[in-house]
Amino acid sequence: MSEKLLNWYRMDNSAKLYPVMTTENSQSLFRISLLLGTKISPEPLKEAVGLTLKRFSTFNVRIRRGVFWYYFEENVKPPVVFPDNGILLQKLKPRELNDFPFRVSYFGRKLSVDFFHAVTDASGAVEFIKAIAAHYFTLTGTPISLNILDSEPKDEEFEDSFLKYYAPAKSEKLDLGQFKGKKSYKIPGETFSGLGYGLIQAIMPLKEALGLAKARGCSLTVLLTSLMMKSIAECGEAFDSPITIMVPVNLRKIFPSRTLFNFVLFVSLSVQPQKTYTLDDYIRINKAALADALEKDNLQRKINTSVKGLNLILFRFMPLPLKYAALKIGRLFIKGGSQTSILSNVGAVDLEGLDVEYMSFNLNVSKNSPVNMAAVSANGKLALSFTRAIKSAEIEKRFIRELAAEGIEIDVNSNFRECVISRNCGGNDNSDKDKGGDGTGGGKR
């Protein structure tokens, strides 16, 4: 009897370099979490993941190594779920995960999925975890009114939207410098030893946050980016270089797409801080810069440059060992060059019909950007999650205090990573101090 021929998928244009750039200590990960209304049981959760993979086949894969590129192959192994061990964004280990490029974990009411960025971006990840939750509620007898379980896969979900919207351009018209960036201020600080990162999370009414942005005459993304810059500036001393924050842009909103693969590019917002700058000064500069960066023609040039660069004959047919040696080329196209921090705002997510209190989103951190922030709103709540590789949480404290000073009621949680390292205060990485039992201890501001 012949073996079944397994399905396989090419990695999208953005994803190709993620496996090549993975090192022993660095892996491009992010986390999406849901705080459910009831405590999670592992067996129905595992079944829910299996049912979800039948609908979302682009996640039912393992990463395989080809001659020139990595690719995805259908994974015939069963999925696994884990109790959350409290180590935030721990590196994915294929053997432990039955080769899946994501890890599903649970703690109390909190459901989390850590994704390897090659398989999807935040938009695709949100749809995946929503489907897991919907199946879980159905299996455990909790009524839902979401139609995601009745939907069929669409051809558009499998497309590489970078290639779809690529407009051929001559090499001399490609602006490779736009991805390299300029030298930027680096956040100093003593890094944690051992595994895991620090997490501080701020949950607030979305209406209040949007009201503050409107009062300042800007979008929520501009407000958050400007406040992040101001907080970084207040914690620093000498600024020989500007503060640069990389902001991922979901291209689906400008170039219509329903792909579940990656379809995100970074734009760079940069300000040389001055002692006299107020929040409104940062907003004024960032508002103009972001509006220019989001012009469709400018994003089109970025798409053209990214696709053309990775499909140059010399690089396209370079064997993988040589691509590893050309790691700097990969960083040029996918990491966006030099930055101080990364701030990603997923925007509003529809969780209506699911017994979910709120959604949260965590970005990974690196030596170049040791403090990153991610935002997502759902069910009328805005969740801001600061991930950091350094012990000091002063940037986050200044950020949250300024929001609180504007009259916004904020519920602040932490995983007490700094306390776990020093052993000199209460709590641990999965503290159950808050009544939600979502893996963080916290209080209100």
| Residue positions counted in the chain | 445
Q: Which two tokens stand for residue 276?
A: 């006299």
The amino acid present at 201, given as its one-letter code, is: Q
User: What's the whole-model pTM score?
Assistant: 0.89
Distance of CA 296 to the CA centre of its chain: 23
Is the domain spanning 171-444 CATH 3.30.559.30? The answer is yes
Q: What is the pLDDT of residues 118-175, one digit of tens each?
A: 999 999 999 999 999 999 999 999 988 766 666 788 899 999 999 999 998 665 455 5
Which DSSP state fits 367?
A: S
H/E stretch holding 412: strand 411-414
Q: Identify which has the larger pLDDT, 334 or 129.
A: 129
Q: Identify which has the larger pLDDT, 360 or 437.
A: 360
Q: Is it true that 8-165 and 171-444 share their CATH fold? A: yes
Q: What is the pLDDT of residues 8-33, one digit of tens each?
A: 888 888 888 777 677 666 789 999 99
Compute how many other C-beta atoms are within 10 angstroms of the C-beta atom of residue 316: 12
Task: Say if residue 332's pLDDT is above 70.
Answer: no
Compute how many other C-beta atoms are within 10 angstroms of the C-beta atom of residue 127: 19
Q: What are residue 246's DSSP bridge partners?
A: 268, 342
% pLDDT > 70, the chain = 82
Contact 198, 387 (CB under 8 A): yes
Q: How confident is the model at residue 423 (pLDDT cuts 50, 70, 90)?
A: very low
Q: 396 to each of 35, 213, 407, 433, how far by Cα in Å?
A: 22, 19, 17, 20
Q: What is the pLDDT of residues 76-88, one digit of tens each?
A: 999 999 999 999 9
Compute how many other C-beta atoms are within 10 angstroms of the C-beta atom of residue 301: 17
Which DSSP state fits 442?
A: E
Least confident of 2-11, 338-347, 399-408: 2-11
Domain boundaries, the chain: 8-165, 171-444
Q: Which two tokens stand for residue 21?
A: 């750039």
In three-state secondary structure terms, 363 is: strand
CATH number of 8-165: 3.30.559.10
Contact 332, 217 (CB under 8 A): no
Q: 289 to each of 66, 198, 392, how far by Cα in Å?
A: 40, 30, 30
Q: Identify which has the larger pLDDT, 178 or 57.
A: 57
Q: Which two tokens stand for residue 213?
A: 């942005």
pLDDT of residue 161: 96
**Spatial distance between the Cα atoms of 198 and 397, rounded to a whole number of angstroms:** 13
Least confident of 93-107, 246-260, 318-332: 318-332
